Amino acid sequence: MGQYTPPIDDNLLNISDRQKLNEEEARGVIKAEQFIYDLEEDVTISADLILKLHHIAFSHLYEWAGAWRRSDFQVGPHVPPGYNEVPLRMYQFVDELNFKFGKVKSDKDLIHLLAYAHHRIVFIHPFNNGNGRTARLLTNLIALLKGYDQIILYHREGQERSIYLKAVRTADNYDYSLLEELIKSQLKKLD
């Protein structure tokens, strides 16, 4: 999972250069990060909030931003659930996430929750594109709500990317230990 880079999607700005598109997507993610920091401390994570994060990050580029995907595809070796399963899977995920969120009593619990949340978004792959970035936005929202700083899990290249991809693939078998180690190494209380 996570190894496949799809061809450039049709985009509202008609960008055909991958580097320029990545830069424009990064600008959208920064807007979504600002939205997260502006949220009330008692916000409840919901499927609608996840859709909104995706919309804020990508609506300036893609018509489908902020909507569940409407097609099936393979992402490297990973075949996500069928598109017709996405809404139900996401609502079930959010219910489980909120249950686990309320049970966090220690850093260990939080680290597991962050790994679980990040992986489930990437595994379900609810959007046409931007799933990893949305997973990182959600992970950072959860960390912030629990009083922690953002976590940098992903790198576009190099050994850090390989380590991240291995951790995500390992989590496909419900072994979150590698992903938890990555998160633990970055978990820092807000000042």
pLDDT digit string, tens, across residues 116-144: 999 999 999 999 999 999 999 999 999 99
Instruction: Please report, for the domain that includes residue 76, its CATH number.
Output: 1.10.3290.10
Give the pLDDT confidence score for residue 4 in this predicted structure: 44
| 34 in a structural domain | yes
Mean per-residue pLDDT over the chain, rounded: 93
| 115 in a structural domain | yes
Q: What is the pTM of this model?
A: 0.91
Residue 173 has pLDDT above 60, yes or no: yes
Structural domain of 160 = 18-184
| 4 in a structural domain | no
| 10 in a structural domain | no
| 158 in a structural domain | yes
> 106-115 pLDDT, tens per residue?
999 999 999 9
Give the pLDDT confidence score for residue 6 in this predicted structure: 54
**Active-site residue flag, 125:** yes
What total of structural domains would you count in the chain? 1
Provide mean pLDDT across the span 78-98.
Answer: 98
DSSP state of 9: P
| 8 in a structural domain | no
| 2 in a structural domain | no
Alpha-carbon distance of 56 to 52, in angstroms, equals: 6
Q: What is the largest CA-CA distance in the chain?
A: 48
CA torsion 170-175-177-183 (nearest 10°) is 70
| 3 in a structural domain | no
Residue 2 has pLDDT above 50, yes or no: no
Give the pLDDT confidence score for residue 131 in this predicted structure: 96
Percent over 70 (pLDDT), the chain: 95
Residue 5 has pLDDT above 60, yes or no: no
Q: From the candidates 54, 78, 125, 155, which is the catalytic residue?
A: 125
Residue 3 has pLDDT above 50, yes or no: no
> 34-86 pLDDT, tens per residue?
999 999 989 999 999 999 999 999 999 999 999 999 999 998 889 999 999 99
Across 63-94, b (16+ Cβ under 10 Å) vs e yields ebbbebbeeeeebeebebeebeebeebbeebb
Provide mean pLDDT across the span 22-43.
Answer: 95
